[in-house]
Amino acid sequence: MSGFIIEILQVMMLIGLAPMFSGWVKMLKCWSQGRSSASILQPYRDLAKLFSKDVILAENASWIFRFTPYLVFSTAVLAGGIIPMLSTDLPLSLTADVIVLVALFAIARFFTALAGMDIGTAFGGMGSSREMMIASLAEPAMLMAIFTVSLACGSTSLSRIVEVIYSPASIVKPSLVFAFIAFVLIALTETGRIPVDNPATHLELTMIHEAMILEYSGRHLALIEWAGMMKLFLFMAIGAALFAPWGIAYAGAPGSIPLAFGYLILKIGASGIVLVLIETGLAKMRLFRLTEFLGAAFLMATLGMLSFFILE
């Protein structure tokens, strides 16, 4: 029973805190660039405003366009119930292992790309085409990084991986270091951050994710934005679970949940700082240089795999 309560707590935390994390990243970014920032709560205000507005729908939008925001939001929430953020004792964690998790993000992307093509504008198609191209290069690298971790742990189940890495017997393994570097590169790609995509841009030729959702408004846009924030939060949480699982509560120890929550806030907050350092230090890449970027990620993951077989 306690598992279900933790499950619900975790999902509520994801839905509730994701905008704050987004606000935190924006705030840090403003500071690092010497600007004064909006409040950390600004994303909540943006969402509230969008939800209260009417929807303007293009005259030829089909049901796919209206279906997508809800679907994208649902997959993000479902993913939040699977990733062990607070505890490994999650009834839903059997639902999906890491591979399924990657596929859950893929289905959200699939529909977002379709929605981008639904209206029939050049921007939408451009965004969809680029997004799918990037995804098809990122996914092998992502799975390679995941395979490295799961070979080292003998499992693809996230809860199990957390338990193995967190166990006192585990030591720092070189394969995990390589996999971690690869994961960081992929996480930047998947969440659409600099140097791959710029979440703040509305310049026509640099948009990727923004181009697909250009025609959205009102509550539809709010759901997509919120799901985007949740995705960013989730990737930080996956990184924390795979590579720094300290503090995550075990099964049968519900008392340590508050502590786990504290650890999680610290880890996610710190990952926000790292994210901003990367984003401030780099410029956005030209589209066709991304092959090198993602190739590097794939190479890192492969090196991790090789070092697993050779050294461990």
Helix/strand/coil for 60: coil
Q: How far is CA 57 from the centre of its chain?
A: 28
Would you list the DSSP string of 252-277?
A: T-GGGHHHHHHHHHHHHHHHHHHHHH
Residues in the chain, total: 312
Residue tagged 């806030």 (tokens) = 265
Give me the least distance between CB of 100 and another protein, in Å please. Answer: 5
CB-side exposure of 121: number of CA atoms within 13 Å? 17
Give me the least distance between CB of 26 and another protein, in Å please. Answer: 23
What token pair was written down for 24? 């935190």
Nearest CB to another protein, comparing residues 177 and 299: 299
Nearest CB to another protein, comparing residues 25 and 305: 305
Nearest CB to another protein, comparing residues 38 and 92: 92
Give me the least distance between CB of 265 and another protein, in Å please. Answer: 24
Nearest CB to another protein, comparing residues 161 and 249: 161
Give me the least distance between CB of 276 and another protein, in Å please. Answer: 28
C-alpha distances (whole Å) from 183 to each of 131, 136, 143, 236, 250 are 18, 16, 10, 10, 25
DSSP 191: T
Residue 156 and residue 202: Cα distance in Å, rounded?
38
Give me the least distance between CB of 105 and another protein, in Å please. Answer: 10
Helix/strand/coil for 152: helix
Nearest CB to another protein, comparing residues 257 and 305: 305
Nearest CB to another protein, comparing residues 77 and 259: 77
Residue 310 and residue 290: Cα distance in Å, rounded?
30
- Residue 285's identity, in one-letter code, is M
Give me the least distance between CB of 48 and another protein, in Å please. Answer: 13
Helix/strand/coil for 63: helix
Give me the least distance between CB of 51 and another protein, in Å please. Answer: 8
Nearest CB to another protein, comparing residues 22 and 175: 175
